[in-house]
Structure 1
Amino acid sequence: MPARLPRKDQTLEELLTVRDWVRFFVSEMNRYKVFLGHGSSHVLDEAIYLVQSALNLPIEDVSPYLDARVLRAEREQLYSYLTQRTEDRKPASYITGQAWLQGHAFKVDPRVIIPRSFIAEILADQITPWINDPDQPFRILDLCTGSGCLAILAAMVFPHASVDAVDLSPAALEVARENIALHNMGDRVNAIESDLFDALAGKQYDIIITNPPYVNESSMKALPPEYLHEPRMALAGGDDGMRLIERIMAQAPAFLSEEGLLILELGNEKPYFDQAFPDLSPTWLETSAGDEQVFLMHQTDF
């Protein structure tokens, strides 16, 4: 662990402008070797985001404000943000209380995993070419919804769809309901507490999307400190990562309509999936992380 941040009184006295603070964030985040895995790929980008958030500056462009002087109270806030990010190794989104996915902001806190699903990219393309008419009144299920972000994005890209957002965690559903209200989706997105499909008897869906807990136990033990702030139940998938995926694959066909689609994200666990389901031939979808993160299956493929 690096030495602690420079003395607070000295830091607050010497760092006077937005530019000063962005540079200082970058230097300290590099010195602490913070892990970037919750939305940012570069330390500078995350440093700018944290400074903008602490100062309530527009997210779009910080450049007009770089040489603006920072008030003492604002410097206190900046130092607090930096302490949380470096010494506490808290992810940026838990510090700001906000995460961005496909250009939309969602409320987050340690009750939910930080949104970063590659399914969001597939939804942005309206599941092309498997969906021909996005204006149809689809029935959509977002299983293991967490913050509700995928359910809300699905409702945005399919404007006549109704969406059930399901999670086992009552705490996560509290956040999901806040996000549903934030995006004015209360008439089309319904948050439901359920252990996977248990509370959905009799329902059928045209599209099921799910980003379930899938991290295998060996990988869980090697996670960087930032991930330890997230709820374990949202990450851990058992010894081989397949604990919930096996249940989903067994039960999903009964909840899919005749032409229904299942879209499931499993991160880096494809080798374990192939071992668990050697007779299945899912369609692997292209994402920004490659073509082994997310797959699609038709109801008739099971």
Structure 2
Amino acid sequence: MSQDDIIRELVTLRDYWRYAISCFNQAELSFGHGTTTAGDDAAFLLLDTLNLPIDALDPFLDARLLPSERKLLAERIETRVTTRKPTSYITGHAYIQGVRFHVDERVIVPRSHIGEILFSEYLGEQGSAYLPDPFAVESAVDICTGSGCLAVLAAKFFPNAVIDAVDLSADALEVAKINVTDHQVDEQVSLYRGDLFGPLKGKTYDLIITNPPYVDHASMDGFPPEHRAEPAMAHDGGEDGLDLVRKILAEAGDHLNPEGGMICEIGSGREILEEEFPHLDFFWLETAESQDAVFWISAEALGVTGQG
């Protein structure tokens, strides 16, 4: 079936959703960049392409599409199948808890559990038992910021805070700059290029946020094409996935204020971490998809005392 045939025969969003699901299943695509099934991935591609709310497919299913829209959708469905790139690279957007961010192949597609935790703690009805009062946070840093999405969210959640964001990749920081500008937090967020805490020159913070590369080499060897399309350095956590986490734990105390703490995403390395650091008091945070992928640790647990 030619693309002209597709554009002529398929006229509603429902038509294109069904067609995309069939194509994705036939091609045995992989998911995991914010979607987990062919149906969800197809819905995301269609809705984001048409600038429709990504969580509201049903109201638009029987809407007839313009010829230009049908052509664009057909092209993007074909691109998803033939290139195996994550859908976010095709539409140019990713979402964390409904907040839209620009992404492209210079950065990993953001899908951090930390965004969910921040939303549930600071936008919920109950206060947090571990994270600081959002209005009391005056300084925060996002280590390994990538696309800058967590730094942007931090600026929204901590209205009184100055936010620093660090990444080793100059390309990633260019994308982060786009998102900082798009979300109008330029005056609150500063971007730094460097290795972890390297460019921060002894600065200390009330809160450290970090979602570092934490995939082990065995897992990277088994990546499907969708994951291989992302920058390898954004995944590579060393042989067991925890090389950067160890470095961050070793340095974090030097960059925390006494009443502060750190929230860190590590993937599946809890057992290794707890065995290697039995003296550290990790508080594991539950999310919709995990019970032990993210931990909170206080400045006090990292040995920070007094005023400095």
| Shorter-chain TM-score tier | over 0.9
Structure 1 residue 132: Cα displacement: 5.2
Structure 1 residue 69: Cα displacement: 3.4
> Which residue does the alignment assign to 1:3?
none
> Which residue does the alignment assign to 2:245?
245
State how far apart, in whole Å, the 2-side matches of 1:149 and 1:223 are: 24
% same residue: 45
Q: Deviations over 1:230-274 (max 9, x none)?
A: 111110111011211111111111111112201110011223323
State how far apart, in whole Å, the 1-side matches of 2:285 and 2:11 are: 48
Match of 1:51 among 43, 46, 49: 46
> Does the 8 A contact of 1:215 with 1:269 survive in 2?
no
Which deviates further from its counterpart, 59-68 or 70-79? 59-68
> Does the 8 A contact of 2:47 with 2:54 survive in 1?
yes
Q: How many residues align?
A: 297
> Which residue does the alignment assign to 2:207?
207
> Does the 8 A contact of 1:270 with 1:293 survive in 2?
yes
Match of 1:112 among 107, 119, 124: 107
> Which residue does the alignment assign to 2:73?
78
1:18 lines up with 2:13 in the alignment: yes
Structure 2 spans left out of the alignment, 5+ residues:
303-308
Structure 2 residue identity aligned to 1:173 = L
Structure 1 residue 64: Cα displacement: 4.4
State how far apart, in whole Å, the 2-side matches of 1:192 and 1:143 are: 10
Which deviates further from its counterpart, 287-296 or 207-216? 287-296
> Which residue does the alignment assign to 2:286?
286
1:191 lines up with 2:186 in the alignment: no
> Which residue does the alignment assign to 1:170?
170
Change (3 A) 1:137 1:295: closer
Q: RMSD over aligned Cα, in angstroms? A: 1.8
- Local SS of the residue matching 1:257: strand
Structure 1 spans left out of the alignment, 5+ residues:
1-5
Structure 1 residue 12: Cα displacement: 2.8
Where in structure 1 do 4 or more consecutive aligned residues deviate above 6 Å?
A: none
Which deviates further from its counterpart, 15-24 or 219-228? 15-24
**TM-score, structure 2 as length reference:** 0.90
Map 1:68-147 → 2, pairs under 5 A: 68-124=63-119, 125-126=121-122, 128-131=128-131, 133-147=133-147
- Local SS of the residue matching 2:140: strand
Structure 1 residue 54: Cα displacement: 3.0
Change (3 A) 1:70 1:133: closer
> Which residue does the alignment assign to 2:305?
none
Which deviates further from its counterpart, 97-106 or 263-272? 263-272
Structure 1 residue 20: Cα displacement: 1.1
